[in-house]
Amino acid sequence: MPEIAAQTSVAISGLTREYDIIAHNLANVGTVGYKRRCNTFSESLASQGAGTKAVSADGSELYSTFDFTQGSLVETGRKMDFALCGKGFFVIETPQGPLYTRNGMFRLNENGQIVDSMGRTVAGQSGPISIPSGAGLSQISVSADGEITAAGASAGKFRLVDFKDNESELIADGFSCFQSPENMEPEPPENLIVKQGAYEGSNVQMVEELVDMIMVSRLYAANMKFMSAGKETSKSLLSLAMG
């Protein structure tokens, strides 16, 4: 009985975490470049039934991964909005090291450098990308491979990278950015296209998340009921033992 109660407690903990993940996805349905978290915990639990050995006692199945599928493209016509079509990332330079993002809503800082919404430098293949002071936004154009031209002159080229089969090992760093684990180096992307005047929306599908939330809520209620019944049974047995 104690073993079943412990397993049920782990199930409730896992379902609570998955509910939080779903809620976080729903909160970011409108976040540019956001990649949804996914968790198969509830599906595993549902296939085996509440209160069964759906998870190990140490909760080892409580992990989540990211879904890196392409989000829908939103046309803006804005010269400093860029969407990536295909597998890969922009690189953002920070004092703590490079970050990787699909959020291509950029701007120019006071020095004419291309930066992200937080003012962090967007990496070029040869360092920061600077737009000449005499060039207006309307004179900035970007080719499909990330080559940037301002007033007819080359201004640099976006540094674009891909992690291929290691993509699942990326670590979330907030604001639709990811960092790579130590000793994991990115590679040049294949068939990656930069589209100017658009951005990539979140890949969260609201209806799917709401369906998952309903399933998690039902499983949570079933496990709580199972645990409550177990406690009542234990009380009854204790009463009988004490006469």
For the chain, what is the radius of gyration of the CA atoms? Answer: 24
Q: In this structure, are residues 16 and 23 in contact, taking their beta carbons and an 8 Å threshold? A: no
| Pairwise CA distance, residues 74 & 61, whole Å | 36
Q: Which distant-in-sequence residues (6+ apart) come within 8 Å of 151 by Cβ? A: 132, 134, 135, 136, 139
How crowded is residue 75: how many other Cβ atoms within 10 Å of its Cβ? 11
The per-residue pLDDT string of the chain (243 residues; one tens digit each, 9 = 90 and over) reads 455 555 666 677 788 888 999 999 999 999 999 999 987 665 555 555 433 333 443 444 445 689 999 999 999 999 999 999 999 999 999 999 999 999 999 999 999 999 999 999 999 999 999 999 889 999 999 999 999 999 999 999 999 999 999 998 999 999 999 999 998 999 999 999 999 999 999 999 999 999 989 988 888 788 777 666 555 444 444 454 455
Nearest to 197 by CA among 137, 111, 119, 122: 137
Global pTM?
0.81
What CA–CA distances, in Å, run from 173 to 2, 35, 99, 237? 39, 12, 8, 51
User: Among 9, 1, 2, which Cα is nearest to 56's?
Assistant: 9
Residue with tokens 């409730």: 12
